[in-house]
Amino acid sequence: MAFANFCQAELRLTLDGAELQPPERAASQQLLDEALATLPPRMLERLDRDVRVRWYDGLTHDVYGSAGGNLLLLNRRLLPALTDGRAAAQRTERPHGTVRQEMLATLIHELAHLYDRARLWSPENYRQQAFCGQRASSLGLVGLPDSCRGQTERRFTLSDDPRLLDLAGWPQRVGERGAREHDNAQQARSPDAYELTSPLEFVAVNLEYFLLDPRYACRRPLLHRYFSQHFGWQPAGVETCKGALPILNAGHDFARTPLIELDPERVYKVDYLFAEANDAWVSRWGHSMLRLVICAPGRPRGPDCRLDLDHHLVLSFRAFVGDVQLSSWDGLTGVYPSRLFVLPLGQVIDEYTKVELRSLASIPLKLQREQIENLVIRSAEMHWSYDGDYYFLSNNCAVETLKLLRSGTARPELTALDSILPSGLLEILIKRDLADASVLDDPREALRLGYRFDSYRDRYQAMFAVLRERLGLPQTDVEAWLALSAEQRRPWIEKADLRASAALLLVEQAALRRHLLLAQEELKNRYLSGREHGDRSLAKADETLQGILANSGYLSQPAQLLDGNGYGLPQASEWQRLESESSQRQARLNQLTDALNAEVRLLLGNERRLELESIEANLAQIGDHLRRLHKAGGGLRLP
């Protein structure tokens, strides 16, 4: 008989039921049989042991069960409801819904711990495990160093697997020899906050949902795929998932609904989008982003999708600043949340090339089809779950982008990469043949095909060269021309021909953008100073601005729209609420923005306000002059 049990090599749950009444014993055995039937065959085979299950009075009221060694304890207070059937209908605020389902989840949870630790202290691995455990402790690691994995032969454990740790929210820390983050920042849309306490608990909690929730594959698709591949099996009744993923577009067009569907099938390529550096302290090493090259509806995936710029999206990790003040110290010490913004490409191009006068390079990453789709899915998961801390020197845009690439693509070449600089990360990706920089070799072709977006500074200088040629201006560069007041530039308008007038229009528009940036800085400083000193003239604008800040946070943390209900990626049952909530917030933002635009002019100093009004008068005069010239001389040829 003992030999037969050995050959069977399968988990057995033995009820310690000597003190139970027959109905109690029958209900208990039915629960154990259901738990065994729920487990993956591989898990049953590897846990070839006899685990005793006992109802126990010593557990606290809210604890359903506990396990140690080969003994699993269940809270005896739950036994009456299980026996008479009330547990199956008794609702609970716990994640699984009913008391009986929670008891089943508890059995799975504790058995998951046994499985996860199955090879942890096996005799043949004890010495190597002890060495690696000491090394892990000395390095502050979560799990084992990657160099220990092949030596320890821990083939059946999960909680120290680098791939699972990446997906679970314990990524590698930059520059620390494989050390993992101590805290899990994937806090939003969690089914059970207990999963965030450690990788061990994450595995146990997620196996509950993998085995019991048919929607797990749609809510946490990459984790469902991971567990399915690990076990070579998936539960029966898994729901078929909708291909498109819910995304909130954080663009500035508040008149449009932000809720969109992102279909991984329509993503042709993923580019590393690099904003070149400027003199601002937060931008002196550039900015890292990812560009999703998305095909227009109806267009087959292919190179022509690069022309569908209106459909392209940018994934940008940024510090979410809940106030008008951007503090360098706060950026260094992690006061600001780090969140994944999804932005329209056109807005990003305008933001950097026209306003900040920085060029953009869009360099294709060398990813296989499956890696592209997984990266898009992972981006959506992070979009709904991630709320990290921004550290300028250790968890900035480059670090966050690298972590997303690692967890999204699972490419082993990315594991050893480390860079805290956006420019450095780009250089490493190119040197390791992970990005194709040859698209930039021909500057004209790169501009034509959208691999490069030049700073408007070069365009403004080219327009200024036209003005110097046509009007004989004494200034030598566009910066010197823009340093003049609008009133000093005005007399040249009537002297300009068609070509020079068109150039004047573009350069004067640059002057307007420049002074709007200066006005924003002036308002920020006055706002901060006035708020400290009780300036009553700021009260209305203060209220409006605070309203904008309060209402816009959901664009970077969309989980706010669902008030903690559900977990993972939102499903069809949550879509209607998402549409309603996001539309209401967007309409409110539209109203507040219009109100703020009307109020802020009144807060500017006289000099700044008059200069803005003078520039706007220049633009109106140039427009009138162009129309007269066009009418008198025929068609308009832009320079």
pLDDT in tens, 95-106: 899 999 999 999
Residue 261 lies in a domain: yes
Q: At residue 476, what are phi and psi to the nearest 5 degrees?
A: -100, -20
What count of other Cβ atoms lies within 10 Å of the Cβ of residue 322? 14
Residues 536 and 460 in one domain: yes
Residues 412 and 326 in one domain: yes
**Domain total in the chain:** 4
For residue 42, the model assigns a pLDDT of 93
Residue 544 pLDDT > 70, yes or no? no
Residue 385 lies in a domain: yes
Predicted confidence band of residue 453 (pLDDT cuts 50, 70, 90) = very high
Predicted confidence band of residue 167 (pLDDT cuts 50, 70, 90) = very high
Residues 215 and 262 in one domain: no
Asked if 410 and 371 touch (Cβ cutoff 8 Å), the reply is yes
Predicted confidence band of residue 395 (pLDDT cuts 50, 70, 90) = confident
Residue 307 pLDDT > 90, yes or no? yes
Give the residue from 198, 231, 264 where a domain finishes.
231
Residue 633 pLDDT > 90, yes or no? no
Domain holding 133, by residue range, is 123-231
Asked if 406 and 399 touch (Cβ cutoff 8 Å), the reply is no
Range 143-149 average pLDDT: 49
Residue 2 pLDDT > 80, yes or no? no
Residues making up the chain, counted from first to last: 639
pLDDT, one tens digit per residue, over 497-527 is 999 999 999 999 988 888 877 776 676 666 5
For residue 12, the model assigns a pLDDT of 95
Name the β-bridge partners of 262: 245
Residues 138 and 112 in one domain: no
pLDDT above 90 as % of the chain? 55
CA–centroid distance for 144 within its chain: 26
Residue 505 lies in a domain: yes
User: To the nearest whole number, what is the mean pLDDT of the chain?
Assistant: 83
Of 210-214, 223-227, 243-247, 331-335, where does mean pLDDT reach its minimum? 331-335
Residue 528 pLDDT > 70, yes or no? no
Residue 240 lies in a domain: no
Q: 495, 466, 461: which is closest to 479 by C-alpha? A: 461
Residues 78 and 152 in one domain: no
Predicted confidence band of residue 128 (pLDDT cuts 50, 70, 90) = very low
What count of other Cβ atoms lies within 10 Å of the Cβ of residue 26? 13
Of 78-82, 169-173, 330-334, 370-374, where does mean pLDDT reach its minimum? 330-334
Q: Measured between alpha carbons, how far is 102 from 623 in angstroms, rounded to an integer?
A: 71
Predicted confidence band of residue 406 (pLDDT cuts 50, 70, 90) = very high
Q: 460, 462, 441, 465: which is closest to 451 by C-alpha? A: 441
Residue 127 pLDDT > 60, yes or no? no
Residues 385 and 514 in one domain: no
Give the residue from 98, 116, 134 where a domain finishes.
116
Q: 513, 512, 491: which is closest to 625 by C-alpha? A: 491
Distance between first and last Cα of the chain? 94
Give the residue from 453, 468, 492 where a domain finishes.
453
Name the β-bridge partners of 293: 269
Range 199-207 average pLDDT: 97
Residue 352 pLDDT > 50, yes or no? yes
Predicted confidence band of residue 212 (pLDDT cuts 50, 70, 90) = very high
Residue 294 lies in a domain: yes
Asked if 140 and 182 touch (Cβ cutoff 8 Å), the reply is yes
CB half-sphere exposure, 175, CA atoms < 13 A: 9
Residue 495 pLDDT > 50, yes or no? yes
Asked if 314 and 345 touch (Cβ cutoff 8 Å), the reply is yes
For residue 581, the model assigns a pLDDT of 83
Residue 239 lies in a domain: no
Sign of CA dihedral 284, 394, 568, 191: negative
* Beta strand 245-248 pairing with 259-262: antiparallel
Q: Measured between alpha carbons, how far is 180 from 162 in angstroms, rounded to an integer?
A: 9
For residue 560, the model assigns a pLDDT of 82
- Residue 169 carries which DSSP code? T
Residues 73 and 58 in one domain: yes
Q: 83, 75, 36: which is closest to 55 by C-alpha? A: 75
Range 161-167 average pLDDT: 95
> Highest mean pLDDT: which of 147-151, 279-283, 359-363?
359-363
Residues 143 and 223 in one domain: yes
Residues 418 and 479 in one domain: no
Residues 491 and 606 in one domain: yes
Residues 613 and 569 in one domain: yes
For residue 124, the model assigns a pLDDT of 42
Residues 271 and 195 in one domain: no
Predicted confidence band of residue 187 (pLDDT cuts 50, 70, 90) = very high
Range 90-94 average pLDDT: 89
Q: 387, 403, 399, 394: which is closest to 338 by C-alpha? A: 387
For residue 269, the model assigns a pLDDT of 98
For residue 519, the model assigns a pLDDT of 74
pLDDT, one tens digit per residue, over 548-599 is 555 556 666 788 888 768 899 999 889 888 888 888 877 776 666 666 566 6
- Residue 455 carries which DSSP code? -
Of 38-52, 53-67, 119-133, where does mean pLDDT reach its minimum? 119-133
Residue 183 lies in a domain: yes
For residue 591, the model assigns a pLDDT of 67
